[in-house]
Structure 1
Amino acid sequence: MLISDISPHHHPFGQELLDLQHAAYAVEAELIGDDRIPPLHETLDALRSEPLTWLGAFDDDGRLVGAVAWEETSDEVDVNRLVVHPGAHRRGIGRALVEQVVARAAGRRVIVSTGRDNAPARSLYERLGFEAQGEREVIPGLWIAGYALTA
Protein backbone atom coordinates (compact mmCIF):
# COMPACT_ATOMS: atom_id res chain seq x y z
CA MET A 1 0.00 0.00 0.00
CA LEU A 2 1.21 3.46 -0.93
CA ILE A 3 0.05 6.54 1.00
CA SER A 4 0.38 9.84 -0.77
CA ASP A 5 -0.90 13.43 -0.74
CA ILE A 6 -3.90 13.85 -3.03
CA SER A 7 -6.31 16.61 -3.95
CA PRO A 8 -9.93 16.46 -5.10
CA HIS A 9 -9.00 19.28 -7.50
CA HIS A 10 -6.68 17.09 -9.57
CA HIS A 11 -7.81 14.63 -12.19
CA PRO A 12 -8.61 11.78 -11.64
CA PHE A 13 -8.75 12.04 -7.87
CA GLY A 14 -11.82 14.23 -7.56
CA GLN A 15 -14.35 11.76 -8.90
CA GLU A 16 -12.48 8.76 -7.47
CA LEU A 17 -12.46 10.38 -4.06
CA LEU A 18 -16.14 11.27 -4.25
CA ASP A 19 -17.05 7.72 -5.30
CA LEU A 20 -14.93 6.27 -2.49
CA GLN A 21 -16.48 8.66 0.02
CA HIS A 22 -20.02 7.75 -1.04
CA ALA A 23 -19.26 4.00 -0.85
CA ALA A 24 -17.64 4.30 2.58
CA TYR A 25 -20.36 6.47 4.08
CA ALA A 26 -23.03 4.14 2.70
CA VAL A 27 -21.50 1.44 4.93
CA GLU A 28 -21.53 3.78 7.93
CA ALA A 29 -25.14 4.74 7.19
CA GLU A 30 -26.04 1.05 7.31
CA LEU A 31 -24.13 0.57 10.58
CA ILE A 32 -25.78 3.51 12.32
CA GLY A 33 -29.19 3.10 10.71
CA ASP A 34 -29.26 6.65 9.34
CA ASP A 35 -28.37 7.93 5.88
CA ARG A 36 -28.32 11.63 6.79
CA ILE A 37 -24.51 11.72 6.96
CA PRO A 38 -23.66 14.89 4.98
CA PRO A 39 -20.61 13.50 3.09
CA LEU A 40 -22.80 10.63 1.82
CA HIS A 41 -24.74 13.12 -0.30
CA GLU A 42 -21.95 15.56 -1.15
CA THR A 43 -21.36 16.67 -4.73
CA LEU A 44 -17.94 16.97 -6.33
CA ASP A 45 -18.16 20.77 -6.25
CA ALA A 46 -19.01 20.69 -2.54
CA LEU A 47 -16.16 18.26 -1.84
CA ARG A 48 -13.73 20.52 -3.67
CA SER A 49 -14.93 23.57 -1.73
CA GLU A 50 -14.00 22.05 1.65
CA PRO A 51 -10.75 23.45 3.13
CA LEU A 52 -9.27 19.99 3.73
CA THR A 53 -5.86 18.41 3.36
CA TRP A 54 -6.03 14.87 1.95
CA LEU A 55 -3.97 11.69 1.96
CA GLY A 56 -4.88 8.74 -0.22
CA ALA A 57 -4.05 5.05 0.16
CA PHE A 58 -3.46 3.09 -3.03
CA ASP A 59 -3.38 -0.66 -3.54
CA ASP A 60 -0.69 -2.44 -5.56
CA ASP A 61 -2.68 -1.82 -8.75
CA GLY A 62 -2.77 1.93 -8.12
CA ARG A 63 -6.45 2.05 -7.13
CA LEU A 64 -7.54 4.52 -4.46
CA VAL A 65 -8.75 2.32 -1.59
CA GLY A 66 -8.77 4.78 1.29
CA ALA A 67 -8.43 8.44 2.16
CA VAL A 68 -8.28 10.73 5.14
CA ALA A 69 -8.88 14.47 5.29
CA TRP A 70 -8.27 16.99 8.03
CA GLU A 71 -8.23 20.64 8.99
CA GLU A 72 -5.59 22.04 11.29
CA THR A 73 -4.66 24.96 13.47
CA SER A 74 -1.46 25.63 15.37
CA ASP A 75 -2.92 23.71 18.35
CA GLU A 76 -5.12 20.99 16.88
CA VAL A 77 -5.74 18.66 13.96
CA ASP A 78 -9.37 17.76 13.24
CA VAL A 79 -9.78 14.55 11.25
CA ASN A 80 -12.78 15.47 9.13
CA ARG A 81 -13.12 12.25 7.10
CA LEU A 82 -11.73 8.76 7.05
CA VAL A 83 -12.98 6.59 4.21
CA VAL A 84 -12.01 3.06 3.18
CA HIS A 85 -13.44 1.21 0.22
CA PRO A 86 -15.90 -1.46 1.45
CA GLY A 87 -13.94 -4.13 -0.43
CA ALA A 88 -10.76 -3.18 1.42
CA HIS A 89 -11.95 -3.25 5.03
CA ARG A 90 -9.89 -5.00 7.72
CA ARG A 91 -6.57 -4.53 5.89
CA GLY A 92 -5.12 -1.80 8.11
CA ILE A 93 -5.79 1.00 5.63
CA GLY A 94 -7.76 3.18 8.04
CA ARG A 95 -5.20 2.62 10.77
CA ALA A 96 -2.29 3.55 8.48
CA LEU A 97 -4.05 6.72 7.32
CA VAL A 98 -4.85 7.88 10.85
CA GLU A 99 -1.29 7.12 11.96
CA GLN A 100 -0.01 9.34 9.13
CA VAL A 101 -2.22 12.22 10.28
CA VAL A 102 -1.09 11.75 13.89
CA ALA A 103 2.54 11.83 12.73
CA ARG A 104 1.92 15.02 10.77
CA ALA A 105 0.20 16.55 13.81
CA ALA A 106 3.66 16.70 15.40
CA GLY A 107 2.43 16.62 18.99
CA ARG A 108 -0.72 18.67 18.52
CA ARG A 109 -4.04 17.37 19.82
CA VAL A 110 -5.89 15.27 17.21
CA ILE A 111 -9.69 15.10 17.31
CA VAL A 112 -12.16 13.01 15.35
CA SER A 113 -15.87 12.22 15.36
CA THR A 114 -17.76 9.21 14.08
CA GLY A 115 -21.25 7.83 14.19
CA ARG A 116 -22.09 6.79 17.74
CA ASP A 117 -23.14 3.35 16.54
CA ASN A 118 -20.19 2.85 14.18
CA ALA A 119 -18.47 0.18 16.29
CA PRO A 120 -15.63 -0.56 13.82
CA ALA A 121 -14.57 3.11 13.64
CA ARG A 122 -14.87 3.60 17.38
CA SER A 123 -12.78 0.50 17.98
CA LEU A 124 -10.10 1.76 15.57
CA TYR A 125 -9.78 5.12 17.30
CA GLU A 126 -9.72 3.51 20.75
CA ARG A 127 -7.00 1.03 19.68
CA LEU A 128 -4.96 3.99 18.44
CA GLY A 129 -5.15 5.62 21.88
CA PHE A 130 -7.90 8.16 21.26
CA GLU A 131 -10.03 8.89 24.33
CA ALA A 132 -13.80 9.27 24.19
CA GLN A 133 -14.93 12.88 24.61
CA GLY A 134 -18.66 12.28 24.74
CA GLU A 135 -21.56 12.03 22.36
CA ARG A 136 -23.76 14.68 20.82
CA GLU A 137 -26.83 14.83 18.66
CA VAL A 138 -25.86 16.82 15.54
CA ILE A 139 -29.34 16.74 14.01
CA PRO A 140 -32.43 15.18 15.58
CA GLY A 141 -31.77 11.46 15.91
CA LEU A 142 -28.23 11.52 14.45
CA TRP A 143 -25.60 10.99 17.15
CA ILE A 144 -21.84 11.22 16.88
CA ALA A 145 -19.09 10.22 19.28
CA GLY A 146 -16.07 12.48 19.69
CA TYR A 147 -12.52 11.35 20.37
CA ALA A 148 -9.26 13.10 21.14
CA LEU A 149 -5.63 12.05 21.14
CA THR A 150 -3.32 14.26 23.15
CA ALA A 151 0.40 13.78 22.70
Structure 2
Amino acid sequence: MLHTSGGPPPDPRRVVVGPLDLAARVDEALAVQALAFGLTDDEIGVRRHIVLRHMATPGARSLGATTEEDRLVGFVYGMPNDRTQWWSTVVHPYLRQEGLDNWLSDSFVITELHVHPAFQNRRVGRALITTLTDSADEPRSLLSALDTDSPARALYRSLGYRDLARRVQFPSASHPYAVMGAPLPLLR
Protein backbone atom coordinates (compact mmCIF):
# COMPACT_ATOMS: atom_id res chain seq x y z
CA MET A 1 0.00 0.00 0.00
CA LEU A 2 1.24 3.51 -0.80
CA HIS A 3 2.07 5.98 1.92
CA THR A 4 -0.84 8.34 2.54
CA SER A 5 -0.39 10.27 5.76
CA GLY A 6 1.17 9.79 9.16
CA GLY A 7 4.23 7.67 9.75
CA PRO A 8 7.53 8.04 7.94
CA PRO A 9 7.55 9.14 4.29
CA PRO A 10 8.44 6.59 1.60
CA ASP A 11 12.14 5.90 1.22
CA PRO A 12 13.16 7.22 -2.24
CA ARG A 13 16.12 4.82 -2.31
CA ARG A 14 13.58 2.03 -2.69
CA VAL A 15 12.23 3.56 -5.90
CA VAL A 16 13.88 2.44 -9.13
CA VAL A 17 13.66 4.38 -12.40
CA GLY A 18 13.76 2.20 -15.48
CA PRO A 19 12.09 1.16 -18.72
CA LEU A 20 8.30 1.06 -18.66
CA ASP A 21 5.93 -0.65 -21.06
CA LEU A 22 3.48 2.21 -20.77
CA ALA A 23 0.92 0.64 -23.09
CA ALA A 24 0.77 -2.43 -20.84
CA ARG A 25 0.63 -0.39 -17.62
CA VAL A 26 -1.43 2.54 -18.87
CA ASP A 27 -4.15 2.12 -16.23
CA GLU A 28 -1.60 2.18 -13.40
CA ALA A 29 0.06 5.24 -14.91
CA LEU A 30 -3.24 7.07 -15.27
CA ALA A 31 -4.10 6.26 -11.66
CA VAL A 32 -0.85 8.01 -10.65
CA GLN A 33 -1.66 10.92 -12.96
CA ALA A 34 -5.19 11.18 -11.55
CA LEU A 35 -3.81 11.54 -8.02
CA ALA A 36 -0.98 13.88 -9.00
CA PHE A 37 -2.95 16.06 -11.41
CA GLY A 38 -6.53 15.67 -10.20
CA LEU A 39 -8.24 13.94 -13.12
CA THR A 40 -11.86 12.84 -13.28
CA ASP A 41 -12.87 9.38 -14.47
CA ASP A 42 -14.00 10.88 -17.79
CA GLU A 43 -10.63 12.61 -18.26
CA ILE A 44 -8.83 9.36 -17.48
CA GLY A 45 -10.83 7.60 -20.21
CA VAL A 46 -9.90 10.24 -22.79
CA ARG A 47 -6.24 10.25 -21.78
CA ARG A 48 -6.03 6.47 -21.96
CA HIS A 49 -6.65 6.59 -25.72
CA ILE A 50 -4.21 9.47 -26.13
CA VAL A 51 -1.42 7.68 -24.27
CA LEU A 52 -1.90 4.50 -26.29
CA ARG A 53 -1.86 6.48 -29.56
CA HIS A 54 1.27 8.37 -28.49
CA MET A 55 3.12 5.19 -27.54
CA ALA A 56 2.59 3.91 -31.09
CA THR A 57 4.39 7.00 -32.44
CA PRO A 58 7.91 6.38 -33.79
CA GLY A 59 10.50 7.45 -31.24
CA ALA A 60 8.10 7.53 -28.26
CA ARG A 61 9.78 6.39 -25.05
CA SER A 62 8.66 5.98 -21.46
CA LEU A 63 10.18 5.35 -18.06
CA GLY A 64 8.61 4.37 -14.78
CA ALA A 65 9.47 4.77 -11.13
CA THR A 66 8.60 1.62 -9.22
CA THR A 67 8.87 0.41 -5.66
CA GLU A 68 10.51 -2.86 -4.66
CA GLU A 69 7.04 -4.41 -4.95
CA ASP A 70 6.83 -3.19 -8.59
CA ARG A 71 4.17 -0.62 -7.72
CA LEU A 72 4.26 2.24 -10.24
CA VAL A 73 4.66 5.55 -8.38
CA GLY A 74 5.74 7.79 -11.25
CA PHE A 75 6.14 7.88 -14.99
CA VAL A 76 7.34 10.04 -17.82
CA TYR A 77 6.97 9.72 -21.55
CA GLY A 78 7.89 11.76 -24.55
CA MET A 79 8.74 11.72 -28.21
CA PRO A 80 10.51 13.68 -30.92
CA ASN A 81 8.34 16.65 -31.81
CA ASP A 82 6.25 16.44 -34.95
CA ARG A 83 4.95 19.81 -36.15
CA THR A 84 1.83 18.11 -37.55
CA GLN A 85 0.80 16.68 -34.15
CA TRP A 86 -2.03 18.36 -32.24
CA TRP A 87 0.17 19.80 -29.45
CA SER A 88 2.51 21.50 -31.93
CA THR A 89 -0.35 23.00 -33.93
CA VAL A 90 -1.79 24.52 -30.74
CA VAL A 91 1.48 25.97 -29.39
CA HIS A 92 2.88 27.10 -32.76
CA PRO A 93 1.07 30.48 -32.90
CA TYR A 94 2.13 31.29 -29.33
CA LEU A 95 5.77 30.47 -30.05
CA ARG A 96 5.66 32.31 -33.40
CA GLN A 97 4.35 35.41 -31.61
CA GLU A 98 7.44 35.26 -29.38
CA GLY A 99 9.73 34.62 -32.36
CA LEU A 100 10.55 31.16 -31.00
CA ASP A 101 8.70 28.77 -33.32
CA ASN A 102 12.07 27.32 -34.37
CA TRP A 103 11.95 25.43 -31.04
CA LEU A 104 9.35 23.13 -32.59
CA SER A 105 12.00 21.68 -34.89
CA ASP A 106 14.54 19.18 -33.64
CA SER A 107 13.07 18.96 -30.12
CA PHE A 108 12.14 16.13 -27.80
CA VAL A 109 8.79 16.78 -26.12
CA ILE A 110 8.05 15.63 -22.60
CA THR A 111 4.41 14.68 -23.01
CA GLU A 112 3.60 13.67 -19.44
CA LEU A 113 5.51 13.52 -16.16
CA HIS A 114 3.65 12.57 -12.99
CA VAL A 115 4.68 11.32 -9.57
CA HIS A 116 2.37 9.96 -6.89
CA PRO A 117 1.92 12.67 -4.22
CA ALA A 118 3.48 10.46 -1.51
CA PHE A 119 6.68 10.29 -3.58
CA GLN A 120 6.91 13.92 -4.67
CA ASN A 121 9.77 16.15 -3.48
CA ARG A 122 12.07 13.13 -3.31
CA ARG A 123 13.88 13.59 -6.64
CA VAL A 124 11.77 10.94 -8.42
CA GLY A 125 10.46 13.39 -11.04
CA ARG A 126 13.97 14.75 -11.59
CA ALA A 127 15.34 11.24 -12.13
CA LEU A 128 12.55 10.38 -14.55
CA ILE A 129 12.90 13.46 -16.78
CA THR A 130 16.70 13.57 -16.82
CA THR A 131 17.02 9.86 -17.57
CA LEU A 132 14.50 10.11 -20.41
CA THR A 133 16.03 13.20 -22.01
CA ASP A 134 19.58 11.86 -21.65
CA SER A 135 18.70 9.31 -24.34
CA ALA A 136 17.21 11.88 -26.73
CA ASP A 137 18.98 12.54 -30.03
CA GLU A 138 17.50 16.04 -30.27
CA PRO A 139 19.50 19.04 -28.99
CA ARG A 140 16.63 20.47 -26.95
CA SER A 141 13.46 19.62 -25.08
CA LEU A 142 9.99 21.13 -24.85
CA LEU A 143 7.11 20.67 -22.43
CA SER A 144 3.98 22.43 -21.30
CA ALA A 145 2.95 22.99 -17.69
CA LEU A 146 0.18 24.86 -15.94
CA ASP A 147 1.08 28.55 -16.02
CA THR A 148 1.36 28.93 -12.26
CA ASP A 149 4.21 29.01 -9.79
CA SER A 150 4.23 25.36 -8.81
CA PRO A 151 6.74 22.77 -7.62
CA ALA A 152 6.67 21.27 -11.13
CA ARG A 153 7.63 24.58 -12.76
CA ALA A 154 10.36 25.06 -10.14
CA LEU A 155 11.73 21.61 -11.00
CA TYR A 156 11.71 22.38 -14.72
CA ARG A 157 13.48 25.71 -14.17
CA SER A 158 16.15 24.01 -12.03
CA LEU A 159 16.81 21.67 -14.97
CA GLY A 160 17.32 24.57 -17.40
CA TYR A 161 13.82 24.95 -18.86
CA ARG A 162 12.72 28.53 -19.44
CA ASP A 163 9.40 30.00 -20.44
CA LEU A 164 9.06 30.29 -24.21
CA ALA A 165 5.38 31.25 -24.22
CA ARG A 166 2.88 31.89 -21.45
CA ARG A 167 -0.88 31.96 -21.24
CA VAL A 168 -1.15 29.20 -23.83
CA GLN A 169 -4.77 28.08 -23.99
CA PHE A 170 -5.36 24.46 -24.96
CA PRO A 171 -8.86 23.58 -26.16
CA SER A 172 -10.98 22.25 -23.27
CA ALA A 173 -8.35 23.28 -20.66
CA SER A 174 -9.75 25.58 -18.01
CA HIS A 175 -6.36 27.06 -17.07
CA PRO A 176 -3.59 28.51 -19.25
CA TYR A 177 -0.29 26.71 -19.74
CA ALA A 178 3.30 27.79 -20.23
CA VAL A 179 5.46 26.23 -22.93
CA MET A 180 8.98 25.72 -21.65
CA GLY A 181 12.17 24.76 -23.44
CA ALA A 182 15.67 23.68 -22.45
CA PRO A 183 18.86 22.69 -24.21
CA LEU A 184 19.91 19.08 -23.74
CA PRO A 185 21.42 17.62 -21.71
CA LEU A 186 19.41 19.08 -18.84
CA LEU A 187 21.19 20.81 -15.98
CA ARG A 188 22.03 18.74 -12.92
TM-score band by shorter chain is 0.7 to 0.9
Q: Say whether the 8 Å CA contact 2:76–2:112 is kept in structure 1.
A: yes
Alignment partner, residue 46 of structure 2: 42
Alignment partner, residue 115 of structure 1: 146
In structure 2, do the counterparts of structure 1 residues 124 and 43 end up closer, same or farther at CA, with 3 Å as the change threshold? Answer: closer
In structure 2, do the counterparts of structure 1 residues 134 and 44 end up closer, same or farther at CA, with 3 Å as the change threshold? Answer: closer
Q: Say whether the 8 Å CA contact 1:25–1:39 is kept in structure 2.
A: no
Alignment partner, residue 8 of structure 2: none
Question: How many angstroms does 1:42 deviate by?
Answer: 2.9
Q: Give the match's secondary structure for 1:80.
A: strand
Identity of aligned residues (%): 24
Asked whether 1:79 is paired with 2:93, we answer no
Q: TM-score, normalised by structure 2?
A: 0.65
Question: How many angstroms does 1:146 deviate by?
Answer: 1.2
Q: Say whether the 8 Å CA contact 2:163–2:178 is kept in structure 1.
A: yes
Q: Distance in 2 between matches of 1:25 and 1:92?
A: 18
Q: Deviations over 1:50-77 (max 9, x none)?
A: 2342110112332111100101158210
**Structure 2 stretches lacking a partner, 5+ long:** 1-14, 82-104
| Corresponding pairs, count | 140
Q: Distance in 2 between matches of 1:75 and 1:117?
A: 27
The residue identity in structure 2 corresponding to 1:87 is A
Asked whether 1:138 is paired with 2:176, we answer no
Q: How big is the alpha-carbon RMSD for the aligned residues of Structure 1 and Structure 2?
A: 2.4
Which structure is larger by alpha-carbon Rg, 1 or 2? 2
Q: Say whether the 8 Å CA contact 1:107–1:150 is kept in structure 2.
A: no
In structure 2, do the counterparts of structure 1 residues 54 and 126 end up closer, same or farther at CA, with 3 Å as the change threshold? Answer: same
Q: Say whether the 8 Å CA contact 2:76–2:110 is kept in structure 1.
A: yes
